[in-house]
């Protein structure tokens, strides 16, 4: 009885610690500012570009609210890249939830056009896959292809109605156990990421083994078209990044085995490797 009441107290303490610590570190619904603060590789023309569209735009139809970003590339030869360094303190934000909405601007078809979403250390270009921790390929065929240490493709995940994509990424050296957006337990080993489409978990993958520095954290995100394929035509909206507090730090802070017990009951604990 005593243990139960202690763990209840500890649970409420922990909940308040988590709500204080969880930190929105970036969001953009494109309602103002256009691409200010972004690196956009070239100005928009008939071949390729990135432009702001609003909800009254008829071509292409924007399924999201207010303004959104329309990124397109209809010709080979060079890419369009839209990239944002969104935090310079990523080394203290090693567990992140990264979300955005994506829609095809034209109905899915057999064209090979691919817009690639990548994350990287701040100050490095996502033009190079070797700078990236992982990538999500938004293909005009409707396929969402996920590339990390291994890769998988998912049919009919991207369409004109829009999909909400959520990625949990663990750049820390700890194994993290957390409650995901569906309130299920999610375990990520060091250098792993999980992808959700419209709230459904697609899987967990390892990061690429390349130039990305995990200890520096993910500080940059963006979209780049594949120069080898034509027909990229995608609308992006509601980008957000939330830093998820590493429970190891808070556990040490509170320093109680009762707390660890209550953390596991909350579905939020850490196993040191």
Cβ burial of 254 (10 Å; 0-12, 13-18, 19+) is middle
Q: Minimum Å distance from CB 59 to Ca ion?
A: 18
- To Ca ion, the closest distance from the beta carbon of 146 in angstroms equals 25
Contact in structure between 121 and 218 (CB atoms under 8 Å):
yes
> Minimum distance from CB of 87 to Ca ion (Å)?
21
Where helices occur in the chain by DSSP H, the ranges are: 2-21, 247-254, 257-266
> Which among 200-208, 221-229, 232-240, 248-256 is the span making contact with Ca ion, rule CB under 5 A?
232-240
What is the rounded CA–CA span in Å between residue 197 and residue 181? 11
Return the residue matching tokens 């579905």.
267
The one segment of 147-155, 217-225, 229-237, 263-271 that binds Ca ion by CB under 5 A = 229-237
Which is closer to Ca ion, CB of 66 or CB of 206?
66
Peptide bond into 60 cis (omega under 30): yes
Looking at the Cβ atoms of 30 and 205, the one nearer to Ca ion is 30
Q: Which stretch binds Ca ion (CB under 5 A): 27-35, 81-89, 149-157, 181-189?
A: 27-35
Report how far residue 149's alpha carbon sits from residue 80's, in angstroms, rounded to the nearest whole number: 25
Residue closer to Ca ion by CB (options 62, 170) is: 62
Does 28 engage in binding with Ca ion (CB under 5 A)?
A: no
Is residue 267 part of the contact set for Ca ion (CB under 5 A)?
no
Quick one: which of 149, 129, 120, 130 has its CA closest to 79? 129
Among 85, 157, 174, 237, binds Ca ion (CB under 5 A): 237
Q: Would you say 53 or 144 has its CB closer to Ca ion?
A: 53
Q: What angle do CA 72, 75, 79 make, to 5 degrees?
A: 65
Nearest to Ca ion of 16, 27 (CB atom): 27
- Give the separation between CA 54 and CA 31, rounded to whole angstroms: 9
Which positions touch Ca ion (CB under 5 A)? 29-30, 66-68, 237
């Amino acid at each position: 009885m005593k243990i139960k009441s202690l763990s209840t107290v500890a649970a409420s303490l922990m909940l308040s610690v988590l709500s204080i610590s969880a930190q929105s570190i970036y969001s953009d619904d494109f309602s103002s500012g256009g691409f200010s603060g972004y690196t956009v590789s070239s100005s928009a023309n008939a071949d390729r570009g990135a432009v702001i569209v609003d909800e009254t735009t008829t071509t292409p139809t924007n399924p999201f609210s207010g303004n959104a970003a329309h990124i397109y590339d209809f010709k080979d030869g060079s890419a369009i890249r839209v990239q944002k360094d969104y935090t310079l303190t990523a080394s203290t934000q090693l567990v992140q939830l990264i979300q955005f909405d994506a829609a095809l601007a034209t109905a899915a078809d057999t064209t090979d056009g691919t817009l690639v979403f990548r994350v990287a250390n701040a100050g490095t270009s996502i033009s190079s896959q070797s700078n990236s921790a992982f990538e999500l390929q938004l293909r005009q065929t409707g396929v969402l292809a996920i590339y990390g240490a291994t890769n998988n493709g998912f049919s009919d995940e991207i369409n004109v109605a829009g999909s909400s994509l959520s990625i949990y990424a663990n750049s820390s050296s700890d194994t993290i156990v957390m409650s995901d957006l569906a309130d299920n337990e999610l375990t990520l080993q060091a250098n792993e990421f999980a992808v959700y489409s419209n709230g459904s978990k697609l899987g967990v993958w390892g990061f690429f083994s390349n130039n990305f520095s995990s200890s520096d954290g993910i500080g940059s995100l963006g979209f780049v078209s594949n120069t080898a394929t034509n027909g990229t035509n995608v609308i992006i909206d509601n980008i957000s990044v939330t830093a998820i507090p590493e429970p190891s730090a808070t556990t040490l802070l509170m320093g109680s085995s009762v707390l660890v017990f209550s953390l596991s009951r909350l579905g939020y604990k850490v196993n040191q490797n």
